[in-house]
A = this chain, B = another copy of it.
């Protein structure tokens, strides 16, 4: 099963985290590969650490190098590209392994939108997805080709957002 959470609204990554929690509760093994987020501790990371959730049954891989070309990013584009390509390599392996039941490719749509990796490469990997496994792809601006092959697609559509009123990202809400 292929699930896509896209759109410009809040709730894509948090919905994927909620799915991970639900799947873990039902005894599934979950791998989350983060294509953009770098080595920066979010609320969910602190939670996973505090409650010792990461184990042989649950792993979060921060494969990205952080924001790309925004918020003071000074890393060469080639470095971001290399990181996303590595994340993709990891995805290819993870899909083949028996080990993982749910694989979350967090912000992979953004990585494609930023031209760090190509949608066609991801499609090639997803073609080999065993029936019993689930993959969740998140991030705004999902390629149409993902929507076409997905079983379930939700567009998280922004109706209202406090950033628009000039409010800053809030701890415990945005990260």
From B5, B43, B155, give the contact of A26 (CB < 8 A).
B43
Chain B CB within 8 A of A124 CB: no
Q: How far is the CA of A158 from the CA of B3 in the complex (A)?
A: 12
Residues of B within 8 A of A46 (CB): 25-26
Q: How far is the CA of A52 from the CA of B53 in the complex (A)?
A: 11
- A23 B154 Cβ-Cβ under 8 A: no
- B42 A25 Cβ-Cβ under 8 A: yes
Q: How far is the CA of A43 from the CA of B13 in the complex (A)?
A: 18
Interface string of A138-171 (1 = CB under 8 A from B): 0000000001001111111111111001010011
How many chain-A residues does the 8 Å CB contact rule pick out?
Answer: 59
- B44 A9 Cβ-Cβ under 8 A: no
- B22 A175 Cβ-Cβ under 8 A: yes
From B15, B21, B42, B150, give the contact of A43 (CB < 8 A).
B21
Q: Distance in Å from the Cβ of A62 to the closest Cβ of chain B? A: 15
Interface string of A20-50 (1 = CB under 8 A from B): 0111111110000000000000111111101
Chain B CB within 8 A of A10 CB: yes
Q: Distance in Å from the Cβ of A8 to the closest Cβ of chain B? A: 9
Q: How far is the CA of A156 from the CA of B159 in the complex (A)?
A: 10
- A24 B1 Cβ-Cβ under 8 A: no
From B24, B152, B160, give the contact of A150 (CB < 8 A).
B160
Q: How far is the CA of A126 from the CA of B121 in the complex (A)?
A: 48
